[in-house]
Structure 1
Amino acid sequence: MLLHFPEAFDKNEWAVIIGILINIIIFMCLPKRIPKEITPLIILLSMSYPKILDHSLAVSPLNYYDIMDSTKYEIFDLLLYGVYPAFGYLFVYILDYFKLKGFQLFWYLLAWNLFAVGVEYLLIKLGIFVYKGWSLAYSLPIYTIVLSLTLLFYKLAMYFHNKNTQQHTSNFR
């Protein structure tokens, strides 16, 4: 696979660079709340969902949108995946911080869905996504599923992490 350089270095390439820098700042500045064994899994999950969806929806036969400003696979298409980790990490970080449950969790998921659609709208305006048959409204159920799966994954990972930590601690008493 050959990665092409952008034909013009404009606002969408700058947006990707700024997004990556924001990710670096978030990961460097936030106090560590999520266990070090789970953090990389959340990061990989946050990068995997968009990669799978982009490679399913943005290519033939569907071809609903282009990423960046070219139909070719550019280096910034690849770098774009460095923008996503903070999204999933902040989602579980805030969830863990506030210990949301029940109806609060419903409102939290709804708020993150709306936030995700807002971020996608910004990415459209910056020329990162160029729709050819997709609509922003189609993204709402996708975000609902992705955020719900991320929540489920996080809860399961924390359950097994806590169970493993308790077993490990009891073996040394």
Structure 2
Amino acid sequence: MILPLPERFDANEIFIIISSLLTLVLLFLLPRRLSVVTIHVIWTFNIYLALLADITIGIKPNDFYFTIDHEKHELFDIFLHFFTYPSIPYFVVNFYQQYKPKSLNLLVYIIFCAGVAIALEWISVKFHVFTYTGWKLSLSFMVYLVVFAANIGLSNIIEKKYPFK
């Protein structure tokens, strides 16, 4: 299946390109604190979560949102699913591994990261990367709390077996 090009090349595609380039720069500039195995598992896990969200709540019968310019997927959805979505949990886990906050500090860290993710999602909505048709930003906050906690837990399990050297 070949995905179509955008109907119009406008603000949302430019936003995705710029945010992808910025993410790529950060991936190479910031110190890595995760093993290659952990990176691959975290990245793949979050691609799966993004695709799962799109096929469970992004299409009928729920149809709570759509991405980019229309309800059908296009080329720039590939950037979102395989690059943009997994990069945020990667950064959350990578920074977590530096300080490894415990108990209340871990909760504060996860809440802070969810707040940052909400801010980024809000900006994405302003650039029409997402169009909500029933979804609310407050629901995303709850999802981010669970996703980031799951990613941190998963990274801890993997890093015990395949530690970063």
Length-normalised TM-score, structure 1: 0.87
The Cα of 1:2 is off from its aligned counterpart by: 4.1
Deviations 1:71-126 (A, max 9, x none): 22111112212112321111011111112112110100110111111111111101
Unpaired segments ≥5 residues, structure 2? none
Aligned residue for 1:84, secondary structure, equals helix
What is the CA–CA distance in structure 1 between the aligned matches of 2:5 and 2:96, rounded to whole Å?
Answer: 38
Structure 2 distance, partners of 1:72, 1:80, is 14
Which one scores higher on RCO, CA 8 angstroms, separation ≥ 6? 2
Question: SS of the residue aligned with 2:37?
Answer: coil
Deviation of the 1:4 alpha carbon: 1.6
Q: Which residue of structure 2 aligns with residue 139 of structure 1?
A: 140
The answer on 1:63 being equivalent to 2:63 is yes
Distance in 2 between residues matched to 1:88 and 1:159, nearest whole Å: 19
CA distance in 2, matches of 1:40, 1:90: 13
Q: Which TM-score applies when normalising by structure 2?
A: 0.91
**Helix, strand or coil at the partner of 2:36:** coil
- In the alignment, what sits opposite 1:24? 24
The answer (yes or no) to whether the contact 1:69–1:127 under 8 Å persists in 2 is yes
Are the aligned partners of 1:26 and 1:86 in contact in 2 as well (CA < 8 Å)?
Answer: no
Task: Determine whether 1:93 maps to 2:118.
Answer: no
Assess if the C-alpha contact under 8 Å between 1:68 and 1:77 holds in 2: yes
Structure 1: give runs of 5+ residues left out of the alignment. Answer: 166-173
Q: Tell me, yes or no, if the aligned pair for 1:57 and 1:65 is still in contact at 8 Å.
A: yes
**How far apart, CA to CA, are the structure 2 residues paired with 1:46 and 1:22?**
19
| Segment drifting more, 5-14 vs 19-28 | 19-28
Number of aligned positions between the proteins: 163
Match of 2:43 in 1: 43
User: Which position in structure 1 is the counterpart of 2:5?
Assistant: 5
| Matched-pair contact (CA < 8 Å) for 2:3–2:73 | yes
Aligned pairs (5 A) from 1:97-112: 97-112=98-113
Q: Is the 8 A contact 1:6 1:76 kept in 2?
A: yes
Q: 1:36-73, CA deviations, whole angstroms, 9 ceiling, x for partnerless residues?
A: 22112122223222221122111111111111111221
Deviations 1:107-159 (A, max 9, x none): 00110111111111111101000011111111121111111111111111112
Q: Distance in 1 between matches of 2:71 and 2:100?
A: 43
Q: Secondary structure at the match of 1:20?
A: helix
Paired residue secondary structure (1:37): helix
